[in-house]
Structure 1
Amino acid sequence: MLNSLLSSSSTPASSTPEGAGSPVLYTPSLTQYVRRKTSTVTIGDVPMGSDYPIRVQSMTTVDTMDTKGSVEQTIRMIEAGCEYVRITAPSVKEAQNLENIRKELRARGYTTPLVADIHFTPNAAELAARIVEKVRINPGNYADRKRFEFIDYTDAAYAAELERIRDKFLPLVRICKEYGTAMRIGTNHGSLSDRILSRYGDTPVGMVESALEFLRICEAENYYNITLSMKSSNPQVMVQAYRLLVQRLDEEGLKPYPLHLGVTEAGEAEDGRIKSALGIGTLLEDGIGDTVRVSLTEEPEREAPVAKALIDRYTNRAATSQPIPAITTYPINPFQYSRRLTHEVANIGGQNVPRVIADYSRVPVTEHKNLHPIGHFYLPEPDKWRMNDLGADYIYTGSYPAQFMLPNGLKEILDYTVWQTGTDQTNVFPLLTTVEYLAARAAQSELHPRLNFVRVSLPASSDELFTTLKADTTVVLLISTDNAHAMPELRRLVVELINRGITAPVIINRGYPAVSEEEVPLYASTDVGGLLIDGLGDGIMLSAPQANPSDADLKRLNNLSFGILQAARTRITKTEYISCPSCGRTLFDLQETTALIRQRTDHLKGVKIGIMGCIVNGPGEMADADYGYVGIGRDKIALYRGQQVIKKSVPADRAVDELIELIREDNRWLEPTFENAI
């Protein structure tokens, strides 16, 4: 066993990224589950912080002026597992009605703390802070108006702007302090102020600085009952911003405030769950996070069970994990994406997009239709194969070679002992165990001249293996683990490769034999996606746990693989929808509209469409969308190209058609075809 991997040190991870002058310390440990130590925030009778369980919250979607509807929905959310309920208060009248909602809930015996969600209206925040247990303000628009203008500030002019913000913000701070009201300073990537964007750019650095400006005002008033958040619809940006926030709090000697985790506008169905799990789960793995909200374009009571499933995975993590040798020097920059340097082997690694391998090792491939679940379709009449955008790149058939000629777009992988006996070894590639690989190299046995897969785990690693791998340019590693603390163990293995100068590409293999069907997307998105957003992977293979998986099982895993790659922004294969979860500000039926837009546009590979219920969640929140569909009034829609409004006040019954025309004008519209319809 590799001696250098046996250290039991728990020294915090450090690295010195390019341009950084001091070690990076954003997590207690990259290899042990240790929850970040935070201060405690008092929110009614449900305190938050590291001395307490990670909390679940969500947000109502009913109009805040509908007292009965808000109360009934809040109760459904509480019974689904919400420990905090957020309600929008876009103006003073909604803030006033929070008192009626709160009184009715208390009369029915529900004491769950309420959180007022504030954006542009300081006087609404000041009123709400006297009524509910917590207020959430967005520093990007609490004291600013966003016009998407670049302003070249002098230091004096910038200082004057901070003083102006202080004057607007101080009344709320003092009211919160007087009434014992908690506050969340919640930065959103898509709604950074023009002032922040002008000085720091559209970056995690700007997100963190936006929150710290407001936090410093609070601390100057000795007000500390604060939580922080760094939310984005891009999980990669979201993770980087939270890590940087933790780093900056430590560097500036500020209190270790609790953190609320969330991916904004994650969307609906499985895509929304994948994106949320990728961002939230990656941070939970590193012990970061004290409350969670999963933002889905669904009824809010459906969000809490997803958040709870993510959180519950860590309840006994420390006790159930196998020890992992410490990472004392982290050789990547955790605040900026950079893909690990690898050499190209066939079409894997190097500059290639990450590949998807379908695991058919428990399903004999005897008929053409066996490949339908992984995006490959045989058409008998022209005697041709067709592939859709979710067509797998490789198929691992284990000990059961396919019984017919596979399509050109699909390559086969066989277990080494079976591959050795095959007649076609040119376009079929072997998968070897570590023992088989070392024995074959030592004996100079026959291997494939271009591509050999080797299954590797951290416990089975050795100096001999790493030395052999470094000299071999034909190997792609299939890395796996049975450790409950899976993502950190896989990360530890890739770090060892980097530190030893081994540039072999890596395929991440995960399977979940004791996990429910609903939990598999959450776990896989965390374990695989958490590596991909740090650039630590060149492909994915998800394995079904059952002995004879059905076509539905195989299709689900194939779609999940591509969904994880898309959410990690490492391989775009389908339309992306950045849709808000709805709230009391929403001006149309978000779920119905999102479904309609998806039905008409889900064949537009790589196009990003933002679907926002109101102007608050409009051009800012859908910051990186190509097109936007934004409610601006009852049955009135504004259509955007990027962050520029193109059509105003479009009647809702014509808006989807107008959106398609806008896409068509840009020559990005494609008519649906057989390939993208199946």
Structure 2
Amino acid sequence: MFNYTRRTSSEVQIGTTPMGGVRPIRIQSMANVSTMDTEAAVDQAVRLIEAGAEYVRFTAQGEREALNLGEIRKRLNDLGYTTPLVADIHFNPKAADVAAYQIEKVRINPGNYVDRVKTFSQIEYTDEEYAAEVEKIRKRFLPFLAICKAEHTAIRIGVNHGSLSDRIMSRYGDTPQGMVASCMEFLRICREEEFPNVVISIKASNTVVMVQTVRLLVQTMEAEDMHYPLHLGVTEAGDGEDGRVKSAVGIGTLLSDGIGDTIRVSLSEEPEAEMPVARKLVDYIREREGHEPIEGKLSAGYDPIFPTRRLSRAIRNIGGGQPPVVISDRTQGSFEMNPSLLPDYFYIGKEDPDNLPDHLPLLVDSHFWKKRPACYPCFIACEAEEMKHFEAEIKFLRINSLELTDSLIRLIHADPRVVVILSTVHRNGVGAQRAAMHRLIGAGCDAPVVLQRDYYEPDPEALQVKAGADLGTLLLDGFGDGVMLHNETGDPVALDNCMFGILQAARVRISKTEYISCPGCGRTLFNLQDTIARVKEATSHLKGLKIGIMGCIVNGPGEMADADYGYVGAGRNRISLYKGKECVLKNIPEEEAVERLVALIKENGDWHNE
């Protein structure tokens, strides 16, 4: 919880690149070209390998595609590339059998390996009927395991939130417990059959669900003395900044816990673009290794798997269960703004507040504070005793985690107008801020806390990754009544956008349209990237609306379960449109689909003009 150490996992042999144990955290991606287009598949695999991919996955819809993976493997070997290949299997266990003879690893999905196609139907099973369904899985799974044993092929049991079977959904609902149960059915068979070459993944597009489920899986496996390595990813993360931030929030939170042996950052872009993001995230978390120990104590009643938001008192629009605020650091003097994402407060340091418009809510260093509307003093730890002499609606106290003493906590708790801005100088800043938050809870201090992080990062992508992992972890832990970022080399508007993106990715504050879009694969039969751009152009002003854009039906309807509308590939240049879980328009031409989506949104009263 407080000190970073990697979870101890078993080592799995995957061709020339073992995973787990003491091996480094591996990075990987998935091709988005047709598996039957051998030349294109080989070319893309080479690009991915050169970009840093340590495993390359291809879809195999049927036996024909699975067989062609052997040809792709041969061509890559001839070119001198021995990077392991992975087959991605849905709905077709025969294709899994064929693929196991061809390449180093096969991913199967428990939600559709044997169980019937998902229909969202509620089916009541007796215990005997349920056990009989599990026995069907065993009978079909055992021959596949036998092939994998003989061929030294590894497998990944890959559970997706979007493709849980009706059987699991009927018993457990759309829950982390259901996802874990789906995975454990297969893991128990693997252990009984003494098949150790297993990797696991449990993914969701919802970062809260994804993190809770993986934590629950680890706890469940530990209770049964299982130590299989874990593959991490946020499905349908999207593209651009949103995709990077959402991936950093979900994957970064688990890596911060020491969980994870390989990651894939799923972006709706060319697969090569995923590699630098994944590498930056892994390398950033690795910097915490061997850090100075952090003394921390878990607060009574806190549940690290299913945390609830810390209760804090309300001070104006901060705390008390209100959405976290955004404080924009404007000490560098720029006051450019994104009118769509306006911060709640602006920190100006030593700047004279009279030089700025009255309507801007300002934080000013205490010695430069003036009693005027929407102007609030900001203190540092050594000035805490002075706070009681200031008559202000809000008093901000900036401290780092090491400065949080018992006497300071008493001062904070005694003044009902104090908001803490909590930063850190520790190499494992997440652990240090976690410890500080639990210390406040343990002391019964309910002052609102704004989470602050400071960076010197000229690379915007690296900043998104670092801030997403750092702030996202604490937000998913249930902490934070606000966020504040400082970057010595950064554009303040970009920082503001990043903060709003992190809050949305952590699902604690919605400030823009949310897009749930997959990265595409060989099953996608339309131009996914162009489509996403066109959908965004038409709908990006619809704040709070969730729109799914999915290449095919494998995860589409399921991952869009909490989406308001969905755009799902139904065949070559054919699209189906969804309202919630219901398919309302089938097989419409791709060139009409965006216009028909807009019409559907209007028909249901969810449209407004910009």
* TM-score of Structure 1 vs Structure 2, range by shorter chain: over 0.9
| Alpha-carbon distance in structure 2 between the residues aligned to 1:649 and 1:69 | 28
| Alpha-carbon distance in structure 2 between the residues aligned to 1:180 and 1:191 | 28
**Is the contact made by 2:311 and 2:321 (CA closer than 8 Å) also made in structure 1?**
no
| Alpha-carbon distance in structure 2 between the residues aligned to 1:268 and 1:218 | 36
1:322 paired to 2:269 = no
What does 1:280-295 correspond to in 2, within 5 Å?
Answer: 280-295=251-266
2:386 aligned to which of 440, 453, 456: 440
1:51 paired to 2:22 = yes
**Is the contact made by 2:457 and 2:463 (CA closer than 8 Å) also made in structure 1?**
no
Question: What is the deviation of 1:315?
Answer: 3.1
Gap change, CA 1:497 and 1:515, over 3 Å in 2: farther
Gap change, CA 1:374 and 1:544, over 3 Å in 2: farther
Q: Look up the equivalent residue of 1:372 and give its one-letter code.
A: E
**Is the contact made by 2:154 and 2:197 (CA closer than 8 Å) also made in structure 1?**
yes
In structure 2, the residue matched to 1:308 is 279
In structure 2, the residue matched to 1:647 is 585
2:320 aligned to which of 350, 353, 371: 350
Query: Equivalent residue of 1:391, what SS?
Result: coil
**Is the contact made by 2:457 and 2:487 (CA closer than 8 Å) also made in structure 1?**
no
In structure 1, the residue matched to 2:8 is 37
The unaligned stretches of length 5 or more in structure 1 are 1-29, 364-369, 376-387, 673-678
In structure 2, the residue matched to 1:206 is 178
1:539 paired to 2:510 = no
**Is the contact made by 1:362 and 1:398 (CA closer than 8 Å) also made in structure 2?**
no
1:360-382 deviations in whole A, cap 9, x for unaligned? 1221xxxxxx543253xxxxxxx
| Alpha-carbon distance in structure 1 between the residues aligned to 2:22 and 2:310 | 37
Question: What is the deviation of 1:327?
Answer: 3.0
Q: Look up the equivalent residue of 2:389 and give its one-letter code.
A: S
**Is the contact made by 2:203 and 2:233 (CA closer than 8 Å) also made in structure 1?**
yes
Q: Look up the equivalent residue of 2:277 and give its one-letter code.
A: V
**Is the contact made by 2:26 and 2:262 (CA closer than 8 Å) also made in structure 1?**
yes
Query: Equivalent residue of 1:501, what SS?
Result: coil
Query: Equivalent residue of 1:38, what SS?
Result: coil
| Alpha-carbon distance in structure 2 between the residues aligned to 1:348 and 1:32 | 30
| Alpha-carbon distance in structure 2 between the residues aligned to 1:112 and 1:538 | 45
In structure 1, the residue matched to 2:426 is 483
Query: Equivalent residue of 1:275, what SS?
Result: helix
Question: What is the deviation of 1:404?
Answer: 4.9
In structure 2, the residue matched to 1:91 is 62
What does 1:136-285 correspond to in 2, within 5 Å?
Answer: 136-144=107-115, 145-253=117-225, 255-285=226-256
| Alpha-carbon distance in structure 1 between the residues aligned to 2:573 and 2:390 | 69
1:412 aligned to which of 356, 362, 373: 362
1:599 paired to 2:569 = no
| Alpha-carbon distance in structure 1 between the residues aligned to 2:418 and 2:282 | 37
| Alpha-carbon distance in structure 2 between the residues aligned to 1:607 and 1:468 | 43
Question: What is the deviation of 1:574?
Answer: 0.4
In structure 1, the residue matched to 2:462 is 519
| Alpha-carbon distance in structure 2 between the residues aligned to 1:514 and 1:353 | 27
| Alpha-carbon distance in structure 2 between the residues aligned to 1:125 and 1:591 | 29
**Is the contact made by 1:53 and 1:290 (CA closer than 8 Å) also made in structure 2?**
yes
Question: What is the deviation of 1:346?
Answer: 1.1
**Is the contact made by 1:457 and 1:493 (CA closer than 8 Å) also made in structure 2?**
no
| Alpha-carbon distance in structure 2 between the residues aligned to 1:555 and 1:243 | 35
In structure 2, the residue matched to 1:18 is none
1:338 paired to 2:302 = no
In structure 1, the residue matched to 2:547 is 609
Q: TM-score, normalised by structure 2?
A: 0.98
| Alpha-carbon distance in structure 2 between the residues aligned to 1:407 and 1:633 | 57
Q: Look up the equivalent residue of 1:327 and give its one-letter code.
A: K
Query: Equivalent residue of 1:574, what SS?
Result: coil
In structure 2, the residue matched to 1:566 is 504
1:444-496 deviations in whole A, cap 9, x for unaligned? 52342x21100122211211111222222111100001112111111111111
Gap change, CA 1:350 and 1:601, over 3 Å in 2: same
| Alpha-carbon distance in structure 2 between the residues aligned to 1:620 and 1:134 | 25
Query: Equivalent residue of 2:45, what SS?
Result: helix
| Alpha-carbon distance in structure 2 between the residues aligned to 1:532 and 1:459 | 20
Identity of aligned residues (%): 51
What does 1:107-126 correspond to in 2, within 5 Å?
Answer: 107-126=78-97
Question: What is the deviation of 1:222?
Answer: 1.1
In structure 1, the residue matched to 2:516 is 578
Query: Equivalent residue of 1:609, what SS?
Result: strand
| Alpha-carbon distance in structure 2 between the residues aligned to 1:71 and 1:128 | 17
**Is the contact made by 2:358 and 2:374 (CA closer than 8 Å) also made in structure 1?**
no
In structure 2, the residue matched to 1:431 is 378
Question: What is the deviation of 1:334?
Answer: 2.4
Q: TM-score, normalised by structure 1?
A: 0.88
Gap change, CA 1:33 and 1:337, over 3 Å in 2: closer
Q: Look up the equivalent residue of 2:361 and give its one-letter code.
A: K
1:587-625 deviations in whole A, cap 9, x for unaligned? 100000000100110000011111111121321232321
- Tell me the matched-pair count: 609
Instruction: Point out 4+ residue stretches in structure 1 off by more than 4 angstroms.
Output: 328-331
In structure 1, the residue matched to 2:492 is 554
| Alpha-carbon distance in structure 2 between the residues aligned to 1:327 and 1:666 | 50
In structure 2, the residue matched to 1:528 is 471
Q: Look up the equivalent residue of 1:221 and give its one-letter code.
A: E
| Alpha-carbon distance in structure 1 between the residues aligned to 2:337 and 2:298 | 43
Query: Equivalent residue of 1:187, what SS?
Result: strand
1:668 paired to 2:602 = no
Query: Equivalent residue of 1:519, what SS?
Result: helix
| Alpha-carbon distance in structure 2 between the residues aligned to 1:328 and 1:403 | 45
| Alpha-carbon distance in structure 2 between the residues aligned to 1:660 and 1:534 | 37
1:626 aligned to which of 547, 564, 584: 564
Query: Equivalent residue of 1:135, what SS?
Result: strand
2:453 aligned to which of 510, 517, 523: 510
| Alpha-carbon distance in structure 2 between the residues aligned to 1:329 and 1:411 | 34
**Is the contact made by 1:230 and 1:241 (CA closer than 8 Å) also made in structure 2?**
yes
**Is the contact made by 1:587 and 1:633 (CA closer than 8 Å) also made in structure 2?**
yes
| Alpha-carbon distance in structure 2 between the residues aligned to 1:302 and 1:426 | 47
In structure 2, the residue matched to 1:637 is 575
Query: Equivalent residue of 1:372, what SS?
Result: coil
Farther-moved stretch of structure 1 (68-77 vs 610-619):
610-619
- Superposed CA RMSD in Å reads 1.4
1:69 paired to 2:40 = yes
**Is the contact made by 1:358 and 1:374 (CA closer than 8 Å) also made in structure 2?**
no
Query: Equivalent residue of 1:313, what SS?
Result: helix
| Alpha-carbon distance in structure 1 between the residues aligned to 2:208 and 2:192 | 32
| Alpha-carbon distance in structure 1 between the residues aligned to 2:287 and 2:605 | 52
Query: Equivalent residue of 2:515, what SS?
Result: strand
Q: Look up the equivalent residue of 1:661 and give its one-letter code.
A: A
2:346 aligned to which of 378, 382, 395: 395
In structure 2, the residue matched to 1:6 is none
| Alpha-carbon distance in structure 1 between the residues aligned to 2:121 and 2:45 | 39
Query: Equivalent residue of 1:476, what SS?
Result: strand
In structure 2, the residue matched to 1:361 is 331
| Alpha-carbon distance in structure 2 between the residues aligned to 1:663 and 1:402 | 44
